[in-house]
A and B are shown apart, each in its own frame.
Chain A
Amino acid sequence: MQTKQWFQQHFSILQSNMKLENIVDGYYIDPKYLSVYRILYCSIILLIVGLPSYTWMINSLNYLFAPPEVSFAGLFHQFPDPWFFMLLTGLNLVFFIMMFLGVATKWTSLLFSITCLVGHNFWYSFGKIDHLILWYIAPVFLGFAGWGRYFSVNAFRVNYIYKEVSFSTNAILIFIFALSIGFSMFTSAAEKMAGGWLSWQGEGVRFNFIKNFLSLNRDNLLTKPLIRYHNHIFWKFMDYSALIMEFGFILSLIRIQYFRIFLAIGVVFHMLVLLMFNIPFYSNLIVYLLFVDWHLIIRNIYGEKNGDNFPRERLCVKFIAAISLFFTTFWVMYLFQKRSFFNFPGLLESLLTGFSIPNAFDKSLFAFFFLVFIFTIYVIYCHLEVYIKNKL
Chain B
Amino acid sequence: MSKENLYKTIIYSYLIILFLHFLAHRRYSIYPSLVFPAFSQAPNIEKSMQYSDITLYAITDKNELKALSKADFFTGYKKHVNYFLATIVRNEKVRLSKPSMLQAREEFLKYSLKQLEALYPKDSFKGLQIDQSVKSYDTKKMIFNANKAVVSTTFLYFTK
Contact = CB atoms under 8 A, between A and B. Distances in A.
Interface string A295-322: 0000000000000000000000000000
Interface of A is mostly: helix
Interface string A60-83: 111111111111110001100000
Given A70-B29, A129-B29, A191 B40 contact: yes
A183 B18 contact: yes
Contacts of B79: 128, 130
Interface of B: 3-4, 6-8, 10-11, 14-15, 18, 22, 24-25, 28-46, 49, 51, 53, 76-77, 79-80, 82-84, 86-88, 90-91, 100-101, 103-105, 107-108, 110-111, 135, 137, 139-140, 142
A202 B40 CA distance: 11
Contacts of A190: 22
B33 A227 contact: no
A75 to B, nearest CB: 12
A201 interface: yes
Can you list the 4 inter-chain pairs with the closest CB atoms, starting with the nearest? A127-B83, A204-B42, A195-B40, A202-B42
A20 B44 contact: no
Chain A: interface size category: 35 or more
B34 A183 contact: yes
B33 to A, nearest CB: 7
B31 A207 contact: no
30 contacts: A19-B4, A24-B11, A56-B77, A60-B111, A63-B88, A64-B87, A64-B88, A68-B29, A70-B28, A71-B29, A73-B31, A126-B77, A126-B83, A127-B83, A127-B84, A128-B83, A179-B14, A180-B34, A183-B18, A187-B35, A187-B37, A191-B36, A197-B40, A199-B44, A206-B139, A207-B42, A208-B41, A210-B139, A228-B142, A230-B140
A172 interface: yes
Contacts of B83: 66, 126-128
Contacts of A208: 39, 41
Given A60-B111, A69-B28, A126-B84, A176 B22 contact: no
A180 B87 CA distance: 31
Contacts of B39: 192, 204, 208
Interface in A160-203: 168, 172, 175-176, 179-180, 183-185, 187-188, 190-192, 194-197, 199, 201-203
